[in-house]
Amino acid sequence: MSKFQDIIQGEKPVLIDFSAEWCQPCRMMPPILKQVKQQLGDRIRILKVDVDKNPAIARKYMIQNVPTLMVFKKGEVKFRQAGVIPAQQIIGIVQQFL
């Protein structure tokens, strides 16, 4: 978990996709996140966290539904929403924190 903490402490916004292999809607997120990365490039870091493989992180952030997207900057939660979100909406949200 300390590596996760190091990652979310940075100046650069970090978009976390909390997901699980068994989750059908979670399978819709990779192409959406690819679009986000293509548009925002190195201005953002995108991380996928499997809640089943990282239960301590999932517990700490009280992840109850997957997918859940969170944006961190300097260790603070700037945005959080459960469910599949379109790429353009995610880009608009992240741009507020660049």
pLDDT in tens, 76-97: 999 999 999 999 999 999 999 9
Distance linking the first and last C-alpha atoms of the chain: 25
| Residue ranges of domains in the chain | 2-95
Quick: pLDDT tens for 17-58.
999 999 999 999 999 999 999 999 999 999 999 999 999 999
pTM comes to: 0.94
Active-site annotation holds for 32: no
**Of 7, 20, 23, 46, which one is the catalytic site residue?**
23
- pLDDT level of residue 1 (50, 70, 90 thresholds): low
Active-site annotation holds for 23: yes
CATH superfamily assigned to domain 2-95: Glutaredoxin (3.40.30.10)
**Of 14, 15, 16, 26, which one is the catalytic site residue?**
26
pLDDT of residue 2: 75
